[in-house]
Structure 1
Amino acid sequence: MGRKTVHVSDFSGKVLQPDDAVVRVVVLEHPDLVAGPVQLEARPIEIESIDDAALDVAVVEIYDSHGGGEPRRVTLTASEFDTLATDVPMAQLLRTAERIRPPKATRKAAEKLDYATLEHAGKPHRGKITDEEAQLVRDNLDEINKRLADEGIRQIDPTDPDHASRYGFPLSDESTD
Protein backbone atom coordinates (compact mmCIF):
# COMPACT_ATOMS: atom_id res chain seq x y z
CA MET A 1 0.00 0.00 0.00
CA GLY A 2 1.33 3.42 -0.93
CA ARG A 3 0.71 6.78 0.61
CA LYS A 4 0.16 10.03 -1.20
CA THR A 5 0.44 13.40 0.47
CA VAL A 6 -1.62 16.23 -0.96
CA HIS A 7 -0.80 19.80 0.03
CA VAL A 8 -3.58 22.37 0.03
CA SER A 9 -3.67 26.11 0.50
CA ASP A 10 -4.59 27.01 4.07
CA PHE A 11 -6.52 30.03 2.76
CA SER A 12 -8.60 28.51 -0.04
CA GLY A 13 -8.35 24.75 0.47
CA LYS A 14 -7.28 24.37 -3.18
CA VAL A 15 -4.78 21.62 -3.97
CA LEU A 16 -1.22 22.86 -4.43
CA GLN A 17 0.53 21.20 -7.35
CA PRO A 18 4.18 20.12 -6.94
CA ASP A 19 5.34 22.87 -9.32
CA ASP A 20 3.20 25.60 -7.69
CA ALA A 21 4.98 28.42 -5.92
CA VAL A 22 4.05 28.39 -2.26
CA VAL A 23 4.12 31.38 0.04
CA ARG A 24 4.65 30.90 3.77
CA VAL A 25 2.71 33.34 5.94
CA VAL A 26 3.56 33.53 9.65
CA VAL A 27 0.79 35.05 11.77
CA LEU A 28 2.47 36.75 14.71
CA GLU A 29 -0.49 38.55 16.24
CA HIS A 30 -4.25 38.22 15.72
CA PRO A 31 -7.17 38.54 18.14
CA ASP A 32 -8.08 34.86 17.56
CA LEU A 33 -4.52 33.60 17.96
CA VAL A 34 -4.38 31.85 21.32
CA ALA A 35 -1.24 29.72 21.39
CA GLY A 36 1.45 31.88 19.80
CA PRO A 37 2.48 32.38 16.16
CA VAL A 38 1.30 29.96 13.46
CA GLN A 39 2.39 29.22 9.92
CA LEU A 40 0.05 29.12 6.92
CA GLU A 41 0.74 28.23 3.28
CA ALA A 42 -0.92 29.72 0.23
CA ARG A 43 -0.54 30.32 -3.46
CA PRO A 44 1.00 33.75 -4.22
CA ILE A 45 -2.17 34.93 -5.99
CA GLU A 46 -4.19 34.32 -2.82
CA ILE A 47 -2.22 36.86 -0.82
CA GLU A 48 -1.23 39.38 -3.49
CA SER A 49 -3.60 42.00 -2.03
CA ILE A 50 -2.05 41.74 1.44
CA ASP A 51 0.43 44.59 0.87
CA ASP A 52 -2.36 46.87 -0.40
CA ALA A 53 -4.39 46.14 2.74
CA ALA A 54 -1.46 46.70 5.08
CA LEU A 55 -1.84 49.46 7.65
CA ASP A 56 0.83 51.88 8.75
CA VAL A 57 0.87 51.26 12.47
CA ALA A 58 2.82 52.26 15.52
CA VAL A 59 3.43 49.64 18.19
CA VAL A 60 4.32 51.19 21.53
CA GLU A 61 4.94 49.99 25.04
CA ILE A 62 3.59 52.12 27.86
CA TYR A 63 5.30 51.98 31.23
CA ASP A 64 2.86 53.34 33.82
CA SER A 65 1.03 52.34 36.98
CA HIS A 66 -1.72 50.54 35.02
CA GLY A 67 0.51 47.62 34.07
CA GLY A 68 1.46 46.57 37.57
CA GLY A 69 5.13 47.11 36.75
CA GLU A 70 4.83 45.47 33.32
CA PRO A 71 4.58 47.52 30.13
CA ARG A 72 1.35 47.58 28.12
CA ARG A 73 1.79 47.00 24.38
CA VAL A 74 -0.55 49.09 22.22
CA THR A 75 -0.95 49.06 18.43
CA LEU A 76 -2.54 52.06 16.75
CA THR A 77 -2.49 53.65 13.34
CA ALA A 78 0.63 55.67 12.65
CA SER A 79 -1.45 58.73 11.79
CA GLU A 80 -3.29 58.53 15.11
CA PHE A 81 0.02 58.17 16.95
CA ASP A 82 1.45 61.13 14.99
CA THR A 83 -1.30 63.41 16.33
CA LEU A 84 0.09 62.95 19.86
CA ALA A 85 3.10 65.11 18.94
CA THR A 86 1.91 68.71 19.21
CA ASP A 87 5.22 70.58 19.63
CA VAL A 88 7.18 69.16 16.67
CA PRO A 89 6.20 66.73 13.91
CA MET A 90 6.36 63.06 14.96
CA ALA A 91 8.94 62.26 12.24
CA GLN A 92 11.32 64.84 13.71
CA LEU A 93 10.56 63.72 17.25
CA LEU A 94 11.38 60.10 16.39
CA ARG A 95 14.66 61.08 14.67
CA THR A 96 15.88 63.02 17.71
CA ALA A 97 14.47 60.85 20.52
CA GLU A 98 16.77 58.94 22.87
CA ARG A 99 17.67 55.52 21.47
CA ILE A 100 17.22 52.43 23.61
CA ARG A 101 18.91 49.12 23.21
CA PRO A 102 17.17 45.86 23.92
CA PRO A 103 18.86 43.86 26.67
CA LYS A 104 21.55 41.58 25.33
CA ALA A 105 21.01 37.89 25.83
CA THR A 106 23.93 36.41 27.64
CA ARG A 107 25.58 33.44 26.09
CA LYS A 108 25.94 31.70 29.45
CA ALA A 109 22.15 31.57 29.88
CA ALA A 110 21.79 29.74 26.56
CA GLU A 111 24.56 27.29 27.44
CA LYS A 112 22.89 26.34 30.72
CA LEU A 113 19.66 25.07 29.16
CA ASP A 114 19.16 21.35 29.63
CA TYR A 115 17.38 20.16 26.50
CA ALA A 116 16.86 16.72 28.05
CA THR A 117 14.11 18.16 30.29
CA LEU A 118 10.42 18.71 29.51
CA GLU A 119 10.99 22.44 30.06
CA HIS A 120 13.44 22.77 27.13
CA ALA A 121 13.18 19.60 24.99
CA GLY A 122 12.43 20.31 21.34
CA LYS A 123 13.56 23.93 21.36
CA PRO A 124 15.74 24.74 18.35
CA HIS A 125 19.41 24.79 19.29
CA ARG A 126 22.77 24.46 17.59
CA GLY A 127 23.97 21.52 19.63
CA LYS A 128 23.52 17.84 18.89
CA ILE A 129 20.17 16.31 19.82
CA THR A 130 21.02 13.88 22.59
CA ASP A 131 19.39 10.47 22.83
CA GLU A 132 17.71 11.66 26.05
CA GLU A 133 16.18 14.73 24.34
CA ALA A 134 15.04 12.71 21.31
CA GLN A 135 13.38 10.10 23.55
CA LEU A 136 11.71 12.80 25.62
CA VAL A 137 10.33 14.44 22.44
CA ARG A 138 9.05 11.13 21.04
CA ASP A 139 7.40 10.18 24.35
CA ASN A 140 5.84 13.60 25.03
CA LEU A 141 5.31 15.11 21.57
CA ASP A 142 1.86 16.64 22.21
CA GLU A 143 2.92 18.25 25.49
CA ILE A 144 6.18 19.55 24.00
CA ASN A 145 4.46 20.93 20.88
CA LYS A 146 1.90 22.72 23.05
CA ARG A 147 4.71 24.32 25.07
CA LEU A 148 6.58 25.28 21.89
CA ALA A 149 3.42 26.84 20.43
CA ASP A 150 2.74 28.73 23.66
CA GLU A 151 6.31 30.10 23.49
CA GLY A 152 5.92 31.06 19.82
CA ILE A 153 8.50 28.51 18.66
CA ARG A 154 8.13 26.21 15.68
CA GLN A 155 6.54 22.89 16.55
CA ILE A 156 7.98 19.46 15.83
CA ASP A 157 6.40 17.61 12.92
CA PRO A 158 7.23 13.88 12.98
CA THR A 159 6.36 13.66 9.26
CA ASP A 160 8.96 16.31 8.38
CA PRO A 161 12.06 14.38 7.24
CA ASP A 162 14.43 16.76 9.05
CA HIS A 163 12.49 16.54 12.33
CA ALA A 164 12.06 12.78 11.94
CA SER A 165 15.80 12.24 11.58
CA ARG A 166 16.70 14.69 14.37
CA TYR A 167 14.35 13.16 16.93
CA GLY A 168 14.30 9.55 15.73
CA PHE A 169 10.74 9.37 14.43
CA PRO A 170 10.14 6.59 11.89
CA LEU A 171 10.21 7.93 8.33
CA SER A 172 7.07 7.22 6.36
CA ASP A 173 7.38 5.98 2.78
CA GLU A 174 5.58 8.31 0.43
CA SER A 175 4.83 7.21 -3.07
CA THR A 176 2.82 8.72 -5.84
CA ASP A 177 0.13 6.82 -7.66
Structure 2
Amino acid sequence: MGQKIIRFSDLTGEHVENDDDLVRIVVHRHPDLADGPVEIEALAGELAAVEELALDLVTIELHVPGSDEPRTVVMEAGAFDRLASAAPMAEVLRGAKPAARSVPSQSAASLAVKEKVNYASLENAGRPHKGRTTDAEKQVVQQHLEEINERLATEGVRTIDLANSEHVSRYGLEALARAIGVTQD
Protein backbone atom coordinates (compact mmCIF):
# COMPACT_ATOMS: atom_id res chain seq x y z
CA MET A 1 0.00 0.00 0.00
CA GLY A 2 1.33 3.43 -0.90
CA GLN A 3 0.81 6.76 0.74
CA LYS A 4 0.14 10.08 -0.89
CA ILE A 5 1.04 13.28 0.88
CA ILE A 6 -1.14 16.24 0.05
CA ARG A 7 0.45 19.58 0.87
CA PHE A 8 -1.16 22.95 1.44
CA SER A 9 0.17 26.48 1.80
CA ASP A 10 0.46 27.45 5.46
CA LEU A 11 -0.64 30.98 4.55
CA THR A 12 -3.73 30.41 2.42
CA GLY A 13 -4.50 26.71 2.70
CA GLU A 14 -4.26 26.46 -1.09
CA HIS A 15 -3.41 22.99 -2.45
CA VAL A 16 0.19 22.59 -3.63
CA GLU A 17 0.34 20.88 -7.01
CA ASN A 18 4.13 20.95 -7.35
CA ASP A 19 6.64 20.96 -4.47
CA ASP A 20 8.94 23.15 -6.58
CA ASP A 21 6.39 25.97 -6.18
CA LEU A 22 6.83 26.00 -2.39
CA VAL A 23 8.90 28.63 -0.65
CA ARG A 24 10.28 27.87 2.82
CA ILE A 25 9.80 30.83 5.15
CA VAL A 26 11.68 31.09 8.43
CA VAL A 27 10.04 33.51 10.85
CA HIS A 28 12.69 34.86 13.23
CA ARG A 29 10.70 37.57 15.02
CA HIS A 30 6.99 38.12 15.41
CA PRO A 31 4.94 39.40 18.36
CA ASP A 32 3.14 36.03 18.58
CA LEU A 33 6.34 33.96 18.33
CA ALA A 34 7.27 32.60 21.74
CA ASP A 35 9.91 29.88 21.37
CA GLY A 36 12.38 30.98 18.70
CA PRO A 37 12.31 30.73 14.91
CA VAL A 38 9.70 28.61 13.11
CA GLU A 39 9.27 27.47 9.52
CA ILE A 40 6.23 27.70 7.32
CA GLU A 41 5.69 27.10 3.62
CA ALA A 42 3.78 29.08 1.02
CA LEU A 43 3.37 29.11 -2.71
CA ALA A 44 5.77 31.45 -4.50
CA GLY A 45 2.87 33.38 -6.05
CA GLU A 46 1.51 34.19 -2.60
CA LEU A 47 4.74 36.01 -1.77
CA ALA A 48 4.96 38.21 -4.87
CA ALA A 49 4.24 41.41 -2.90
CA VAL A 50 6.65 40.66 -0.02
CA GLU A 51 9.51 42.76 -1.43
CA GLU A 52 7.18 45.69 -2.07
CA LEU A 53 5.82 45.49 1.49
CA ALA A 54 9.27 45.28 3.10
CA LEU A 55 10.30 48.14 5.36
CA ASP A 56 13.68 49.84 5.55
CA LEU A 57 14.61 49.23 9.18
CA VAL A 58 17.47 50.33 11.39
CA THR A 59 18.70 48.33 14.39
CA ILE A 60 20.47 50.36 17.06
CA GLU A 61 21.88 49.65 20.50
CA LEU A 62 21.38 52.16 23.29
CA HIS A 63 24.22 52.11 25.84
CA VAL A 64 22.72 54.12 28.67
CA PRO A 65 25.00 55.22 31.53
CA GLY A 66 24.31 53.22 34.67
CA SER A 67 22.82 50.30 32.75
CA ASP A 68 24.78 47.04 32.52
CA GLU A 69 23.33 45.84 29.22
CA PRO A 70 22.61 47.78 26.03
CA ARG A 71 19.02 47.97 24.81
CA THR A 72 18.37 47.01 21.17
CA VAL A 73 15.78 49.02 19.25
CA VAL A 74 14.47 48.37 15.74
CA MET A 75 12.81 51.27 13.97
CA GLU A 76 11.98 52.53 10.49
CA ALA A 77 14.95 54.13 8.75
CA GLY A 78 12.97 57.30 7.99
CA ALA A 79 12.11 57.83 11.66
CA PHE A 80 15.76 57.28 12.64
CA ASP A 81 16.95 59.69 9.93
CA ARG A 82 14.65 62.41 11.31
CA LEU A 83 16.51 62.26 14.63
CA ALA A 84 19.49 64.00 12.95
CA SER A 85 18.83 67.75 12.91
CA ALA A 86 22.36 69.17 12.62
CA ALA A 87 23.14 67.35 9.35
CA PRO A 88 21.55 64.66 7.18
CA MET A 89 21.82 61.15 8.71
CA ALA A 90 23.92 59.91 5.78
CA GLU A 91 26.50 62.61 6.59
CA VAL A 92 26.37 61.80 10.33
CA LEU A 93 27.00 58.10 9.60
CA ARG A 94 29.86 58.82 7.16
CA GLY A 95 31.61 60.89 9.83
CA ALA A 96 31.01 58.42 12.66
CA LYS A 97 33.80 56.30 14.14
CA PRO A 98 33.57 52.50 13.84
CA ALA A 99 31.90 50.85 16.83
CA ALA A 100 34.29 49.39 19.38
CA ARG A 101 34.06 45.64 19.67
CA SER A 102 34.65 44.06 23.03
CA VAL A 103 37.65 41.75 23.02
CA PRO A 104 37.59 38.81 25.43
CA SER A 105 40.64 38.33 27.62
CA GLN A 106 43.40 36.16 26.17
CA SER A 107 42.75 33.33 28.63
CA ALA A 108 39.01 33.33 27.93
CA ALA A 109 39.63 33.40 24.17
CA SER A 110 42.10 30.51 24.28
CA LEU A 111 39.74 28.49 26.51
CA ALA A 112 36.88 29.02 24.05
CA VAL A 113 39.04 27.83 21.15
CA LYS A 114 40.08 24.69 23.05
CA GLU A 115 36.46 23.80 23.90
CA LYS A 116 34.98 24.43 20.45
CA VAL A 117 33.28 21.30 19.10
CA ASN A 118 33.16 20.55 15.38
CA TYR A 119 29.59 19.34 14.87
CA ALA A 120 30.31 18.78 11.17
CA SER A 121 32.57 15.84 12.05
CA LEU A 122 31.22 12.30 12.07
CA GLU A 123 32.07 11.89 15.77
CA ASN A 124 30.02 14.96 16.82
CA ALA A 125 27.35 15.40 14.13
CA GLY A 126 23.80 15.06 15.39
CA ARG A 127 24.59 15.81 19.02
CA PRO A 128 22.15 18.29 20.55
CA HIS A 129 23.63 21.79 20.72
CA LYS A 130 22.36 25.34 21.01
CA GLY A 131 24.25 26.75 18.03
CA ARG A 132 23.20 26.98 14.40
CA THR A 133 23.21 23.71 12.48
CA THR A 134 25.62 24.29 9.60
CA ASP A 135 25.16 22.94 6.09
CA ALA A 136 28.24 20.78 6.68
CA GLU A 137 26.66 19.16 9.77
CA LYS A 138 23.40 18.62 7.89
CA GLN A 139 25.27 16.90 5.08
CA VAL A 140 27.10 14.55 7.48
CA VAL A 141 23.81 13.67 9.23
CA GLN A 142 22.04 13.11 5.89
CA GLN A 143 24.80 10.80 4.65
CA HIS A 144 25.40 8.88 7.90
CA LEU A 145 22.09 9.01 9.77
CA GLU A 146 22.01 5.34 10.78
CA GLU A 147 25.62 5.38 12.00
CA ILE A 148 25.08 8.65 13.90
CA ASN A 149 21.92 7.33 15.57
CA GLU A 150 23.80 4.20 16.68
CA ARG A 151 26.53 6.37 18.21
CA LEU A 152 24.01 8.67 19.91
CA ALA A 153 22.09 5.71 21.36
CA THR A 154 25.35 4.18 22.66
CA GLU A 155 26.21 7.52 24.29
CA GLY A 156 22.76 7.71 25.88
CA VAL A 157 21.88 10.85 23.88
CA ARG A 158 18.59 11.37 22.05
CA THR A 159 18.64 9.97 18.52
CA ILE A 160 17.52 11.81 15.40
CA ASP A 161 13.91 10.84 14.78
CA LEU A 162 12.46 11.20 11.27
CA ALA A 163 8.99 11.48 12.82
CA ASN A 164 10.12 14.56 14.78
CA SER A 165 9.53 17.62 12.57
CA GLU A 166 12.10 19.67 14.52
CA HIS A 167 14.81 17.05 13.86
CA VAL A 168 13.80 16.74 10.20
CA SER A 169 13.92 20.50 9.73
CA ARG A 170 17.14 21.02 11.71
CA TYR A 171 19.09 18.46 9.69
CA GLY A 172 17.37 18.91 6.30
CA LEU A 173 15.92 15.38 6.28
CA GLU A 174 12.63 16.21 4.55
CA ALA A 175 13.38 14.10 1.45
CA LEU A 176 14.44 11.08 3.52
CA ALA A 177 11.35 11.34 5.73
CA ARG A 178 9.11 11.52 2.63
CA ALA A 179 10.94 8.61 1.03
CA ILE A 180 10.15 6.32 3.95
CA GLY A 181 6.58 7.61 4.23
CA VAL A 182 6.86 9.71 7.38
CA THR A 183 4.54 12.72 7.22
CA GLN A 184 5.34 15.95 9.06
CA ASP A 185 2.71 17.95 10.96
- TM-score when scaled to structure 1? 0.66
* 1:155 equivalenced with 2:170 (yes/no): yes
Per the alignment, residue 106 of structure 2 pairs with: none
Q: Deviations over 1:67-124 (max 9, x none)?
A: x422211111111111211222101111222223767997544337795897528962
The structure, 1 or 2, with the larger RCO (C-alpha pairs under 8 Å, 6+ apart) is 1
Q: Distance in 2 between matches of 1:24 and 1:102?
A: 34
Per the TM alignment, residue 46 of structure 1 is displaced from its structure 2 partner at its CA by 0.9
Q: Distance in 2 between matches of 1:26 and 1:41?
A: 9
Q: Distance in 1 between matches of 2:162 and 2:180?
A: 17
* 1:120 equivalenced with 2:144 (yes/no): no
Q: Distance in 2 between matches of 1:61 and 1:48?
A: 33
Per the TM alignment, residue 30 of structure 1 is displaced from its structure 2 partner at its CA by 0.9
Query: Secondary structure in 2 aligned to 1:24?
Result: strand
Gaps of 5+ in 1: 149-153, 165-170
Task: Check conservation: 1:11, 1:41, Cα contact below 8 A.
Answer: yes
Per the alignment, residue 83 of structure 2 pairs with: 84
**Pair 23,98 (structure 1): closer, same or farther in 2 beyond 3 Å:** same
Per the alignment, residue 44 of structure 2 pairs with: 44
Matched residue count: 159
Task: Check conservation: 1:26, 1:39, Cα contact below 8 A.
Answer: yes
RMSD: 4.1
Gaps of 5+ in 2: 104-108, 142-147
Alignment of 1:1-177 (within 5 A): 1-18=1-18, 21-65=21-65, 68-100=67-99, 108-111=114-117, 115=124, 120=129, 124=133, 126=136, 130=148, 131-133=150-152, 136-138=157-159, 145=166, 155=170, 160-162=174-176, 172-173=180-181
Q: Deviations over 1:125-176 (max 9, x none)?
A: 5465544336733378999x5xx9xxxxx53576x245x6xxxxxx6248xx
Q: Distance in 1 between matches of 2:96 and 2:161?
A: 48
Q: Distance in 2 between matches of 1:122 and 1:64?
A: 29
**Pair 156,20 (structure 1): closer, same or farther in 2 beyond 3 Å:** closer
Task: Check conservation: 2:117, 2:124, Cα contact below 8 A.
Answer: no
- Name which of structure 1's ranges 103-112 and 3-12 shifts more when overlaid on structure 2: 103-112
Per the TM alignment, residue 10 of structure 1 is displaced from its structure 2 partner at its CA by 0.9
